[in-house]
Copies of this chain bind each other. A is one copy, B any other.
Amino acid sequence: MATTTAAQRRAQARIEYDAFIRSCPTNQLLDRISDKWVSLVVSALAQTDGASMRYSDLGRKLAGISPKMLTQTLRSLERDGILVRTVRPSVPVRVDYELTPLGTSLAGLLSAVKDWAELHIEEVNEARERYDDGDASSEGSRGSAGSGRSSSAS
């Protein structure tokens, strides 16, 4: 332990922390809804309430999603019991997806989030404008001061 490399200690801490994080249900769910497409798929399915959607229906609804991500998302959701996948041995194979009760409750949660967002988005936007406009603290003349931060949109 000669080299008490600060970095190594942090790296170690990260591992432990990660283990801790993963064992926390909150984070597991967070990981789930953190996926850009997951929430979109769930919402799409929730909108049709009960009515199952076919693979291509979803592909159309979620314009711009690549088949790869659609399948991947659907699979992970199926794995988590959020939705069920039903294969219909028709001539051209047909597969239907529909939310499970669990999935529906998740959709409900997303709705709650939506409500909060619509209720406070205004404040957030104001705060952003205020911030972007130049904090003014130590800035007299408005220039550009653009700190290219922005998390873009992953």
| Interchain CB contact under 8 A, A79 and B146 | yes
CB pair A18 B117 closer than 8 Å: no
Q: Which residue of B lies closest to A109 (CB)?
A: B116
Interface residues of A in 84-108 (CB under 8 A from B): 87, 102, 105-106
**Are B154 and A10 closer than 8 Å at their CB atoms?**
no
Q: How far is the CB of A77 from chain B (nearest CB, A)?
A: 10
When the two chains form their complex, are residues B149 and A72 in contact, meaning their CB atoms are under 8 A apart? yes
- Interface readout for A32-46 with B: 1 if CB under 8 Å, 0 if not? 111110011000000
Q: A51 within 8 Å of B by Cβ?
A: no
Question: Judging by beta carbons under 8 Å apart, are B76 and A151 in contact?
Answer: yes
| Partner-B contacts on A (CB < 8 A) | 10-11, 13-18, 21-22, 25-36, 39-40, 62-66, 72, 75-76, 78-82, 87, 102, 105-106, 109-110, 112-114, 116-118, 120-121, 123-124, 126-128, 130-132, 138, 145-147, 149-154
Q: List 9 A-B contacts (CB under 8 A).
A: A17-B62, A18-B64, A27-B39, A29-B114, A30-B39, A33-B34, A76-B146, A81-B128, A112-B112
